[in-house]
Amino acid sequence: MYSYKKEIDSIQQMLNSFLETKVINTAHLSKMDALIKRSDLDQIKTLNSISSLNTQRVIFGAIRNINTSLKSMKEKLRTAALRHENPTTAEQALELVDSLSNVALCIDVFNSSEIDASEIDNIAKLSRILYKKAKAFGFSEDAQSQLKEACVTEAIVKSFISNFDSNLAMELDLEEEVKSTVKNNS
């Protein structure tokens, strides 16, 4: 069975070898491709599952965080190699591996068995830690390129945000006043 954790372990070995030799060997970066491709596909697969919306969101987010971190990491390592950088980027990448491993382990468990709601909350927490750490190290893609890649237009973004604002007002118990404003405007 395919294992996210094993792939991360192999990436960790690659990064360690970069640090030992003090050279980023770009020929080895293709080791990251399998997991990038797999996580690309698994994001779509999650949307086709019968899980609850909350579970779909959390698993999609966790896989996406692994995917975008790795894509960005690969690109940064390639640029660092071109600059013949003393592998600071590899050091930073290695620091992210623990967070990647934690989320990868959860994805493996999710793929192999049914997990309960409390476990989903834990995945959400670990995934958020990965997101924050990746962002802090610069291993993240900018929002605009992510939206472009996902074919999300400006109109969709505007409509989603306006809808989100109304729903947030309802969640914050302002529902009556929101409804009344809508009525008065129409």
Question: Contact, 130 vs 100, CB < 8 A?
Answer: yes
CB of 173 to other proteins, least distance (A): 4
Cβ contacts of 39-42, under 8 Å, gap ≥ 24: 39/4, 39/63, 39/64, 39/66, 39/67, 39/70, 40/67, 42/107
Q: Would the CA dihedral through 168, 172, 177, 179 be positive or negative?
A: positive
CB of 24 to other proteins, least distance (A): 29
Question: Contact, 76 vs 24, CB < 8 A?
Answer: no
Token pair listed for 168: 């947030």
Interface with other proteins, residue 168, by CB under 8 A: yes
Question: Contact, 97 vs 11, CB < 8 A?
Answer: yes
Q: Would the CA dihedral through 63, 68, 71, 74 be positive or negative?
A: negative
According to CB under 8 A, which one of 150, 154, 155, 185 is a site residue for other proteins?
150
Q: Looking at this protein, which amino acid is placed at residue 137?
A: F
Which of 82/143 has CB closer to other proteins? Answer: 143
Interface with other proteins, residue 129, by CB under 8 A: no
CB of 41 to other proteins, least distance (A): 11
According to CB under 8 A, which one of 113, 118, 184, 185 is a site residue for other proteins?
184
Binding mask 19-48 for other proteins (x = CB under 8 A): ------------------------xx--xx
Binding mask 68-107 for other proteins (x = CB under 8 A): ----------------------------------------
Contact positions toward other proteins, by CB under 8 A? 43-44, 47-48, 53-54, 56-57, 60-61, 64, 128, 131-132, 143, 146-147, 149-152, 156-157, 159-161, 163-164, 167-168, 170-174, 176-177, 179-180, 183-184
